[in-house]
Each structure stands twice: as structure tokens, then as C-alpha cells.
Amino acid sequence: MADSEKRYRPATELVHGGTTRSQFGETSEAMFLTQGFVYANAEAAEARFNGEDPGFVYSRYANPTVAMFEERMTLLEGAEAARGTASGMAAVTAALVCDLNAGDHVVASRALFGSCDYILTDFLPRLGITSTLVDGTDLDAWQQAVTPKTRAFFMETPSNPTLELIDIAAVAEIARASGARLIVDNVFATPLFQRPLQLGAHTVVYSATKHIDGQGRCLGGVVLSDEEWIEEKLAPYMKHAGPSMSPFNAWVLLKSLETLDVRITRQAESAARIADAIAGHHAVARVLYPGRDDHPQADIAKRQMSSGSTMVSIELKAGKRAAFNASNALQVVRISNNLGDAKSLVTHPATTTHQRLSEEERATLGISDGLLRLSVGLEDPLDLIEDLTAALDAAEREPIRAVS
């Protein structure tokens, strides 16, 4: 772009941001599928390794294609720096582990993706790091959980799968006052619909596997924060522990970012229509969607999100049997535990993403046996509404048994 210092609007940055070109002047970003790099002479290698020459050394440390993805994400997020990772959970784990020591303490919202819950309640304690899980909507609970050893706050908002919202700005104030860093998993809202750094968060993480790729092709993750923390804390961890992003996946994600705005804007519009269309269905106990006025934290949604995003949670009155019946009756929507895809996907959290939790833990989180999590795709919204309505009509019927 003509003026590299000029800041552009998100849709423009998603197409052009961070692009560097080789001597061939290619239009599309180049894919540098290489593990290492060569040097003109031994002196050049020495300068590269001791930091006098800022070039690339090894793709586990940094890679030109991955660097383009990282730069584009910083421009989109409004962050100073970023590091791409092999998956979303690699991003979550790196953001926590790189800055914590044995004896430290983490406060986190209890409404978490199953793997995030595992990291906080199973993995980190093996390293001597303790965690306290709180009701994320209760600001007093965050404050009361702080100890002199608290070094990090962690939250998902909206949460997986009940779409619970947390007041990021208010929790950021508590974190800052206690000397802790706030890490926000922003995957459900996407960087276009919610800006945690602008609300006071210190670090943002994404599973790029979800909306950023958005087409079910590859894994990836990204951690974004201030440059000092990235360079002093995260970069050494990434270099030596090695949860690095594949250059091929970075190239796929770069191409996906070009259409992110178009895709998720359409998906969010469809999600809002679907939530309204099925909310009154006789088989439905409740519909959770951040864009609706009946969402439990609708006031927070209006304050910190520019859209309700692409996810809808549906609780069926008749429990697991009805949820399974409805899922099995769908013709357009497919059953899968992924989300943020161009294809609409549905999953039953109690038996998939959150099955490792006890029945009591799921009940505390509002994950009933009748809950379905719907990720709205790019299909015609009328086809999706018809498909979901027919499936909900079938939800309370007895399933047809095959005759042997």
C-alpha cells in the first residue's frame, strides 16, 4: 500500500494489511514453506543469531508467511504485536504459561470451553499454578477471588456454549488494580464485533480455526498483546516450546482474512433472524443470542459488542432425547463440534465439547441435556429457518426404530 503509516478501516486491512512481497512482486501473499534460512557468510549468521540482523533464523521462531498473518491480525485487532500458534488451544496455553510461575494464581470465569477448563483445573496445577473459577457475571466474585499471588485473569465472552457475557472493562479494572493481566478469549465475538484491548484487556487470544479460517480447512491460533510482553514473555516461550504455526496454514488464513468481514457479517445477520424465528417454537425452552433483548446480559452486549455474532444456543424442553431427535432431523445443518464455518453446524455440548464435566458442573454452567449450540453459516437464512423449524417439530416425537 502506498502509505504504510496510514491506518485503514478493517475491511481494507483484511485484504492488504501486513503484505510483504518478494523480488517477484506477486499479487497473492507468498508461501514460504521452509524450515530454515541461509546466510551469505558465517559473519551474517552470527549477526542474525545475536540479534544484530533482524532477519529470519528458523521457522519455529518466525517465518515470513506467518509474520504476514501476525501483522494483519495486529492491524485488525489494534494490537502492538502478535504471535501465530498451531491451534487455538496452543494460543490459550501459551498466553497463560509464558507468564506464570509455580506458586502463581489465576482467576477465571467458570463458563469455559472444555479444553480451557482442562488447562486451568488440570494442567496448570501440575506446574504449581492454582486457579479459582468464578461466576464471570458477578464482579464481586472476581474481586473476592484475588489473592496476593494472582497474576492473571482469564475469560471467554461470549462463553462456549451458553453465550454468557462478561463486562470486560469492569473486570479489566479489577485485574489492573490487583497487578494481574486480563486475557480474553474473543473467538465467538471475532475481532470485528468486539475489541477487548480497547476495553482494557491486556491480551487477546483466538482459535483461528474458527471464523478466521471459517471454511473447515486448517488449525491455527493467535495471541495479541503489547509489544513488550510479546517479546519478553511470549516470544521466548514460542521459540523454545515450539507451538508454532505452519507457514501453509498461515497462508490459508491470510486468504481467509480477505473475506472475514463479508462472511461473518452475513452469518451474524442470519443468526439474528434465526434466533427470532425459532424463539417461540413450542419445543424450545429458551433461545440465547447476544443480539436479542431477552439475553441475560443484553445490556453488556449493547455496550461492548457491535453485533450478536454468529452463534445461537437453543435449549429444548424435553431434554437430551429432543436434542438428539432435532439434530438427527436436520437436512442442511450438519452435526459437528467445530464452529464459525461457512457451513451451519450444530453440536450437543453435554455429550461432546463439555462431556468431561460432571453433571453438577454442567448444571452450574447452564449446560442442560436439552442444549444445542448452533453455528450459523452462509446458507440462505430462509433455508436454515425451514430446516431448523422442521427439526424442532420432530424434536419431541419418538424416534423411528429400524426393524431387524
pLDDT tens across 222-277, in order? 999 999 999 999 999 999 999 999 999 999 999 999 999 999 999 999 999 999 99
CATH class of 261-393: alpha beta
Measured CA to CA in angstroms, residue 79 lies from 76, 97, 100, 201 at distances of 8, 20, 22, 11
Closest-CA residue to 94 (of 203, 257, 199, 248)? 203
CA dist list (Å): 300 to 130, 137, 163: 29, 10, 12
The dihedral sign for the CA sequence 56, 58, 64, 70? negative
- DSSP E strands: which ranges in 188-256? 203-207, 221-225
pLDDT for 5 beyond 90: no
**What is the mean predicted confidence (pLDDT) over 296-322?**
97
φ, ψ for residue 167 (rounded to 5)?
-75, 95
Burial status of residue 62 (CB atoms within 10 A of its CB: 0-12, 13-18, 19 or more): buried
Q: What is the pLDDT of residue 75?
A: 96
Tell me the three cell numbers of residue 86. Answer: 498451531
- Structural domain spans, the chain: 10-257, 261-393
Q: Per-residue pLDDT tens for 356-398?
A: 889 999 999 999 999 999 999 999 999 999 999 999 999 988 6
Is the pLDDT at 106 greater than 70, yes or no?
Answer: yes
Rounded-to-integer distance, Cα 355 and Cα 348, Å: 9
Q: Domain 10-257 maps to which CATH number in 3.40.640.10, 3.40.605.10, 3.40.50.2300, 3.40.50.1820?
A: 3.40.640.10
pLDDT mean over 174-197: 98
> What confidence score (pLDDT) does residue 399 get?
61
Q: Between these two residues, 398 and 3, which has the higher pLDDT value?
A: 398
Asked if residues 66 and 58 have their Cβ atoms less than 8 Å apart, the reply is no
CA atoms of 404 and 18, how far apart (whole Å):
61
**Alpha carbons 84 and 145: distance in angstroms, whole number:** 31
Distance CA(391)–CA(387), nearest Å, equals 6
pLDDT at 180: 98
Report the run of H or E that residue 371 belongs to, with start and end: strand 371-375
Least confident of 21-35, 207-221, 285-299, 313-327: 21-35
Which of 46, 32, 76 lies closest to 260 in space, CA to CA?
A: 76
Task: Walk across the sheet containing 284-288 and list its strands.
Answer: 284-288, 311-316, 371-375, 345-347, 334-335
Residue 1: pLDDT band with limits 50, 70, 90: very low
Nearest to 203 by CA among 105, 363, 282, 93: 93
